Chain A
Amino acid sequence: MTMDQSLGILFQLYQSLLVVLLAPLLTGWVNQCRAWLQNRSGPGLLQPFRTLRKLFHKDAVIAHNASPLFRITPYILFGCMWLAAAIIPIVAVDLPFSPAADVIALVGVFALARVFIALAAMDIGTAFGTLGARREMLVSFLAEPALLMVLFTASLISQSTQLPRIVEALAHHQFVLYPSLAFAGLAFVIVLLAENARIPVDNPGTHLELTMIHEAMILEYSARHLALVEWASSLKLLAYISLGIALFFPHGIAEVGNWRALPLAIAVLLVKLTLAGAGLALLETLLAKMRIFRAPEFLGTAFLLAVLGLLIHFLLGA
């Protein structure tokens, strides 16, 4: 094993641990910002960790008719999201796990997690689980193509579907404004809101069971299972925001082995995540939740914007 390889593995381990700990913190930050924007004092940044600790200490209650699928889904979900968050180059490019999945496979990882949570939701047989699974599928089958279009736009610029190549191409060239990426960026924000069950598509804080999408699917989970599902949701949000950062604002990222660039890279990342979290909170405060049948129009807009990005790339070559 060469020096480079072992350093690479060290960097990979480092990022993997970082994302797992950072994810609940990011959720806490978004919630804190929302509280501030609503004139509330808010529960503090560490609230998600407290919730996780509470949930891990509880005894799980599982329906009698739950199949093994219901029990293993939280682990699959957590694994998928952790993998996704770990391979997106946010601290350093050229992580050893990165070649494991290019952008298309990354979308596949998200899809895998979704299939399992939807199946688990229907597994119990309650009306709400099925309701939630049905709505989740309605939203995601529209969000997925839009996300792919966004990723294609970025990969056309960098001539690769490998995330490290895309990041390298965008971060280490001279700073250029890509009009196609501006459209793709808008589309990506819409997809991010829809895929992470955020307002205006879903409401992560709701207690109204009839309006839920994501929450309806996980109503039957408790204790450690729920903790993993919640943690996976945080990881998913972090993964999406990281992906956005990697695609649209990759500047300041470190290269593997460059120890001296690492502190700066982490500092830059934290600033970016802070701003992204605050921006998300602002969006969620300003918007009301839309009627569920408006979601197709909303995601249709995302798809349209992403396709426009592609067209602009072909027409202008930028």
Chain B
Amino acid sequence: MPITYHNLHLTRLDGAIPVWEGEIKPGDLPPVCQNVADGGGRLLALWGSDARGDAGERGNGFALHVVLVNEAGLICLSMALDAVQPVYPDISRIFPAASRMQRAAYDLLGIYAHEGHDHRKWVRHGAWHGGSFPLRKDFDAAQNRDPLSNSLSKTTSHSTRLQETAAKSLVIPQAGERTNEKGNLEPLEPDAYPFVQVEGQGVHEIPVGPIHAGTIEPGHFRFSVVGEKVLRLEERFGYTHKGIEKRFESLTLQQGAKLAGRVSGDSTVAYAWAYAMAAESIAAVTPPDQALWLRALFLERERIANHLGDLGDLGNDVALSFGFAQFWILKEQVLRNNAALFGHRYLMGKIVPGGVAADLTEAGKQTLREECAMLEREVRVLRGIYEEHAGMQDRFIAAGRVEPKLAAQLGLCGLAGRASAQAWDARVQFACAPYDRLDVQMATYRNGDVAARVIVRFDELFESLRLQREILDHLAHDGELAIPLERLPGNGFGVGMVEGWRGEVLVAIHTDVQGNLTRVHPHDPSWQNWPAVEHAIMGNIVPDFPLINKSFNLSYSGQDL
């Protein structure tokens, strides 16, 4: 049992990683969260689901799902919420990372964190009206297409019961909004979003983005500065919201796997594996051994490619284009080998529920062994150059520091967490097959600055190369690649978590009575780590921000679902 708390009954789910599930009462949520936090645990994900159409006792309202993690495993807590007043206790005071997740849950589903300290909208940018919630089953996309037609009267819902609850549902004006006479929310001005103001002599704001000078993902950064010194940074995202979670609801298991692999292009293997792991947990099947080894191979190759790319980009951000070019030549080599051996540069669609969709020949193994040797040789030289380059180290050291204590408070995870002494790596703590046979060495560092994140990347790169070699030795050729997994059992719930290159990627799947996907929630580690970037930049100077941001290299698309 990961935690003991009276009133809380946890049951272990089938699957590759240790996951417990249990129902929780609203009053118990904060103490349980506090209990987990006190034990060094973290919040992993928070989302809501619309259970109003479900049969049985669950079918009386909405549900809130919270996943906590501690050394023993994942704890999935579900809380039934009232259909008309879907309110739950705020947990962002215990886990600061919860704040944005709670705001997103309100925008998408209309469930509301009582006494939360920040109720501004998060993913809604005027693409749908305030007061209507896309993830509700009775949401009418057609009626919401035109932002000017503010009318709920045309609602065509499938059941009258849903219609009744929708009309009476809790609608709360957020900052910068008011309720109009029809009960809808409208902004006081178009897309109003009050940023936190910093006042004082000589303080001014620099708004950056969402359109940038380079080809990067859209995000808005509001700097409050004195001269070049940053007093405060506030992030505003959601510009790449594309309704992925809504789309999942109408997909089959196989189509869902394809979509899961496209949540965040640079982590396609991690998402596809996490999705497959969740599905396999519901169906209580274990993929063939051969498939598991190949999955690990894909995941390590994804890590290798992304770390190479990031190390190059970090060189580019301090204008050392030499490093940029060298690392990207190496990354390109990895991607080309992926394309030649597996049929896709980023390995999209190569992991399917039940197994994998690509094999490796003996000749292919040889190619990868040679690639490994080449990469080890080249990266060792490049690491020497990076570490001895005075100008570069001067930029890296002490820039964007996140102290271990702060990192623990914020629940910093993944690569950035390990650079701030947060020793979490799902491949180590919750080693699913085949990692249980690999003995992964976790790379951690204490300094928490850009230099530390570079060191962790180098260490993980070498470790991944070592793992890749070991995986190649274990790969046999006789095994099956996948077991057929056509449909999931009804009323199922499963969670998959994989240590992607950026951090732990989680996918949760709920199925309805017939076994269709009713709610799929992909969760990117960027949710936890973006708030840390706001802290990392404080006290640094404005021109250092791109470097600090790149050293985290978080996903915009992965969290703007």
Interchain CB contact under 8 A, A293 and B391: no
Q: Is the CB of A291 within 8 A of B319?
A: no
A209 and B394 in contact, given A200-B319, A289-B318 (Cβ under 8 angstroms) = no
Scan B523-561; emit 1 where CB is below 8 A from any A CB, else 0.
000000000000000000111111100000000000000
A18 to B542, CA, bound (A): 41
B546 touches A211 (CB 8 A): yes
- Verify B213–A208 contact, CB threshold 8 A: yes
Report the separation of the CA atoms of residues A206 and B395 in the bound assembly, to the nearest whole angstrom: 16
Given contacts A38-B322, A205-B321, A207-B213, contact A289 B395 (CB under 8 A): yes
* A290 touching B395, Cβ below 8 Å: yes
Within 8 A of A (CB), among B179-234: 204-208, 212-215, 228
- Which listed residue, B324, B544, B546, touches A291 by the CB 8 Å rule? B544
Within 8 A of B (CB), among A177-235: 199-200, 203, 205-212, 215, 219
Q: Tell me if A289 and B325 are in contact (CB < 8 A).
A: no
Query: Does A176 make an interface contact (CB < 8 A)?
Result: no
A127 at the interface (CB under 8 A from B): yes
Q: Is B326 an interface residue (CB 8 A)?
A: yes
Within 8 Å CB of A34, what residues of B?
321
Cβ–Cβ < 8 Å partners of A293 in chain B? 228, 541
Q: A39 interface residue, CB < 8 Å from B? A: yes
- On whether A289 and B319 interact (CB within 8 A), knowing A127-B206, A209-B208, the answer reads yes
Does B474 count as interface, using CB distance less than 8 angstroms? no
* Shortest distance between the CB of B428 and any CB in chain A (Å): 34
Whether A291 contacts B317 by the Cβ 8 Å rule is no
A128, A207, A287, A288: most-surrounded residue (chain B CB, <10 A)? A288
Q: Is the CB of A39 within 8 A of B325?
A: yes
B391 contacts A200, C-beta separation under 8 Å: yes
Interface contact B322-A37, CB-CB below 8 Å? yes
Closest to B546 in A: A208
Which of A127, A205, A288 meets B391, CB within 8 Å? A288
Whether B322 lies near A206 (C-beta < 8 A) is no
B320 part of interface (Cβ distance < 8 Å)? yes
Known pairs A203-B319, A206-B319; A291 contacts B542 (CB<8 A) = no
Interface assignment of A294: CB less than 8 Å from any CB of chain B? yes
User: Complex formed: what's the CA distance from A172 to B206 in Å?
Assistant: 55
Task: For the complex, give the distance between the alpha carbons of A37 and B546 in Å.
Answer: 25
The docked-state distance in angstroms from the alpha carbon of A198 to that of B312 is: 20
Q: Chain B contacts of A212 at CB under 8 A? A: 213
Check if A131 is an interface residue, CB within 8 A of chain B.
Answer: yes
- The verdict on A119 contacting chain B, using a C-beta distance below 8 Å, is no
Known: A38-B322, A39-B325, A208-B213. A288 touches B395 (CB 8 A): yes
Nearest chain A CB to B212 CB, angstrom units = 7
Within 8 A of A (CB), among B292-325: 315, 317-322, 324-325
Given the known inter-chain contacts A207-B213, A207-B214, A208-B214, please indicate yes or no for A288 contacting B542, CB distance below 8 A.
no
Q: Is the CB of A288 within 8 A of B213?
A: no
Residues of B321-345 whose CB lies within 8 A of A: 321-322, 324-326, 329
Residue A292 at the B interface, CB < 8 A?
yes
B389 an interface residue at 8 Å Cβ cutoff? yes
The CA-CA distance from A287 to B228 in the complex, in Å, is 23
Answer yes or no: B455 CB below 8 A from chain A CBs.
no
| A286 → B minimal CB distance (Å) | 8
**In the assembled complex, A260 has its CB within 8 A of some CB on chain B:** no
Task: Kindly list chain A residues whose C-beta atoms are within 8 Å of the C-beta of B324.
Answer: 38
A169 CA to B315 CA, complexed, in Å = 45
Q: Which residue of A lies closest to B543 (CB)?
A: A211
Do residues A287 and B391 form an inter-chain contact, with CB atoms below 8 A? Answer: yes
Query: B152 contacts the other chain (Cβ, under 8 Å)?
Result: no
What's the minimum C-beta distance from A276 to chain B, rounded to whole angstroms?
20
Which residues of chain A are within 8 angstroms of B391 by Cβ–Cβ distance?
200, 287-290
**If A288-B320, A288-B395 touch, does A39 touch B329 (CB 8 Å cutoff)?**
yes
Number of interface residues of A (CB under 8 A): 32
Residue of B nearest to A203 (CB): B319
Interface contacts (Cβ under 8 Å), in number, total: 86
CB-CB under 8 A from B228, the residues of chain A are: 292-293
Complex contacts, B317 vs chain A, CB 8 Å: 208, 211
A122-160 to B contact mask, C-beta < 8 Å, 1/0: 000001100100000000000000000000000000000
Residues of B within 8 A of A173 (CB): none
Is A64 part of the contact surface with B, judged by Cβ < 8 Å?
no
Question: Is A285 positioned at the interface, with any CB of B under 8 Å from its CB?
Answer: yes
Min C-beta distance of B69 to chain A, whole Å: 35
Query: Within 8 Å of chain A (Cβ to Cβ): is B170?
Result: no
B392 at the interface (CB under 8 A from A): yes
Q: Which residues of A contact B321 (CB under 8 A)?
A: 34, 38, 205, 285
Residues in B whose Cβ lies below 8 Å from that of A39: 325-326, 329
For B208, B319, B391, B547, which residue has the most chain A Cβ atoms within 10 angstroms? B319
Please, which residues of chain B bring their CB within 8 A of the CB of A127?
204-208
Q: CB-CB < 8 A to B213: which residues of A?
A: 207-209, 212, 215, 219
* Residue of chain B at shortest CB distance from A204: B319
With most chain A CB atoms within 10 A of its CB, the pick from B205, B315, B325, B543 is B543
Nearest neighbor of B386 in chain A, beta-carbon distance:
A288
With A200-B391, A208-B546, A210-B546 already in contact, the answer to whether A288 and B325 are too (CB < 8 A) is: no
- Report the separation of the CA atoms of residues A203 and B213 in the bound assembly, to the nearest whole angstrom: 14
Closest B residue to A34 by CB, please name it: B321
Select which of A200, A206, A210, A284 is within 8 A of B545 by beta carbon: A210
Q: Which residues of B contact A131 (CB under 8 A)?
A: 206, 542
Q: Is the CB of A288 within 8 A of B543?
A: no
Q: Which residues of chain B have C-beta atoms less than 8 A from A37's C-beta?
A: 322
Scoring A210, A211, A290 by chain B CB atoms within 10 A of each residue's CB, the highest score goes to A210
**How many angstroms between the C-alpha atoms of A240 and B546 in the bound complex?**
30
In whole angstroms, how far apart are the Cα atoms of A131 and B542 in the complex? 10
Residue of B nearest to A199 (CB): B319
Query: Across the two chains, which residue of chain B brings its CB closest to A209?
Result: B213
Residues of A within 8 A of B545 (CB): 210
User: Chain A 295-310 against B: per-residue CB contact (8 Å), 1 yes, 0 no?
Assistant: 0000000000000000
**Within the assembled complex, what's the spacing in Å between the Cα atoms of A286 and B319?**
10
Which A positions have Cβ atoms within 8 angstroms of B? 34, 37-40, 127-128, 131, 199-200, 203, 205-212, 215, 219, 284-294
Contacts beyond the supplied A37-B322, A288-B318: 11 A-B pairs with Cβ under 8 Å? A131-B542, A205-B321, A208-B546, A209-B208, A211-B547, A285-B321, A287-B320, A288-B315, A288-B389, A288-B394, A293-B541
Ordered by A's residue number, 24 sampled pairs between the chains whose C-beta atoms are within 8 Å are A34-B321, A38-B321, A39-B326, A127-B204, A205-B321, A207-B212, A207-B214, A208-B214, A208-B317, A209-B208, A209-B212, A209-B213, A210-B206, A210-B542, A210-B546, A215-B213, A287-B320, A288-B318, A288-B392, A288-B394, A289-B319, A290-B394, A292-B543, A294-B394
